[in-house]
Amino acid sequence: MKQTELERARVDQKTTKQTLSEQAMKPLRFGHLVIWPPFVAAPFAGYTDGVYREILREFGCPYCYTEMVSAKGLVMGGEATLALLEHSEHDRPLAVQLFGSEPEDISEAIRAIHQADVPFDAVDINMGCPAKKVTSQGAGGALLKDISRAEAMIQAAKSATRLPVSVKIRIGWSGGERAVEIASRLEAAGADMIAVHGRTVAQGYSGEADWGTIARVARSLNIPVVGNGDVTAPRQGLKLLGESGCSGIMVGRGILGNPFFFRSLYQTLRGSEPEPAAAGERFILAIDHLHRAAQRYGERRAMLELRKHLAFYFKGMKGASKLRTAMNGARSWSELVDTIRHASRCFGNELHM
């Protein structure tokens, strides 16, 4: 990507920290970590890989998670699973997010990570994923139906590491009436921080996030609670941060194809009107993302895995639906790049990359 935008993003982050870090908004603190501003990128399987996390960092994201990693896969030494742990030295602080159904797998997986000397700053246990292939194993959101097992998972993690252990949950399996009870038990089991998505597991991603329930959890616990769900703009996130009593905000779908969220966040914190990303900038970054992925994974894998993510860069733009169809029809990496270049010219942008 051109030097101007990436360097400006870094300058924005540095300047904002210097001018606002002592003001009213407190950092997110748990374990040895101090995260400011208290906005974190949600783990998103198939999207927030090491390549995209590096892009998020360049726009100022202060904290990330790996994609969801199978604890059993780590214990068995699966190459694909181990590859999910890879990250650059610039991708810090970083939590490794594990999922599983057996406490022993969690503790053994953490020991395997330490033995492999892969540096992380925290361990997170997923207890909210609604995907059937995960819940059918008794993992992810299914743990909210078996809180005793969920407690044992946290205790197993704490026994295997000195790193802070966080948990990502939903407000419940099919209702949020037990959300405070569940979160309180996880806190008592040793969780250092809990991120709460304001939907039930049964909802998936339908409906709206219940920030009222998130607020009740935040005000009932002594450990930090990070709220998650439907945050798409910095000003909205800041409003929810103040109203909910949460210690931080987690942004999920709002950052897909939109690392500009974090640049806008720093501009908002400085009291400036956020500058929306121009069409040309979106095209430039999409192709830059493709090039980075090709260098990391090879052209064919980059093409196959990135098509769904690239569509988010152009969401809301005129002709986005036709462009998505054209990208999905590309038969090679070079054809996919050419498709995006051609679309950019329709917006009057000549890309030189």
Three-class SS state of 205? coil
Torsion, Cα of 192, 72, 128, 91 (10° steps): 60
Tokens of 186: 């996880």
Q: What DSSP element (H or E) covers 278?
A: none
Sign of CA dihedral 304, 310, 315, 319: negative
Closest-CA residue to 289 (of 73, 82, 56, 97):
56
Q: How far apart are CA 191 and CA 332, in angstroms?
A: 46
Active-site residue, from 61, 64, 129, 246:
129
Q: How far apart are CA 94 and CA 105, in angstroms?
A: 21
Amino acid residing at 166:
S
129 catalytic per annotation: yes
Q: How far apart are CA 91 and CA 106, in angstroms?
A: 23
Residues designated as active site: 129
